[in-house]
Chains A and B, each alone.
Chain A
């Protein structure tokens, strides 16, 4: 029976096939799709110029067709093909509207979107290096004299102002500034002496 429909499909009008499909004749849909697929797909492709997008819109068009027919909302006023074309046309418009809201960049040619966008999170290698650098710095700080270490820890790790450091340690602001300066000078010396590389 299926073969008969395929063989005679040119004889059966769209309206009859639609009617048969609504009444539960599933193969009628295949005849309709095969009959019109080329025109509908070409129409979509001529607007979007992308095979994958055209494929998606073609699929969405027929999903809408199937839903409308099965829900019994299709009226026979218009013809089947112009109706499907109108659905496809509306979906093409939706596609372009969506793309203007969220433009799509393809990585073809000399422009690569990933040269503009970067991932702010560190990858595994960089996070290992970061840990290494931080642990080296902690070792260097441990080498400093106690008074310089105290000021540096308060300033860098606890984010205290020199006024707060002065209040906490009971020395003048100038002394705190001086200790910070010597702490940095001494750290540079230790780094140079041991050839420590602190780069990320």
Chain B
């Protein structure tokens, strides 16, 4: 079996995560959004 001499690429590990603010925005958005059912129709309401 041939030996593998290749090294791992010493590239910097990029932080692939969304910003905390983005997540906080989504959580706040979720809390603010309410869907109102009215005669088979659905309305979205964003409350601050």
Enumerate chain A interface residues (CB-CB to B < 8 A): 26, 29-30, 33-34, 37-38, 41-42, 45, 54-55, 58-59, 62-63, 66-67, 70-72
Identify which of B16, B22, B27, B35 contacts A26 (C-beta below 8 A). B27
Q: Which secondary structure dominates chain A's binding surface?
A: helix
Enumerate chain B interface residues (CB-CB to A < 8 A): 16-19, 22-23, 25-27, 29-31, 33-35, 42, 44
In angstroms, Cα B7 to Cα A68, docked, is 46
Q: Is the CB of B22 within 8 A of A55?
A: yes
Residue of B with least CB distance to A72: B35
Enumerate chain B residues within 8 angstroms of A45, measured Cβ to Cβ. 16
Q: Is the CB of B16 within 8 A of A70?
A: no
Enumerate chain B residues within 8 angstroms of A62, measured Cβ to Cβ. 26
Q: Is the CB of A58 within 8 A of B30?
A: no
Q: Is the CB of A66 within 8 A of B30?
A: yes
Residue of A with least CB distance to B42: A71
Q: Which of B23, B31, B34 has the most CB of A within 10 A?
A: B23
Q: Is the CB of A26 within 8 A of B42?
A: no
Q: Is the CB of A63 within 8 A of B22?
A: no
Q: Is the CB of B22 within 8 A of A58?
A: yes
Residue of B with least CB distance to A30: B27
29 A–B contacts, CB within 8 A, in A order = A26-B30, A26-B31, A29-B27, A29-B30, A30-B27, A33-B23, A33-B26, A33-B27, A34-B23, A37-B17, A41-B17, A41-B18, A45-B16, A55-B18, A58-B22, A59-B18, A59-B22, A63-B29, A66-B26, A66-B29, A66-B33, A67-B33, A70-B30, A70-B33, A70-B34, A70-B35, A70-B44, A71-B42, A72-B35
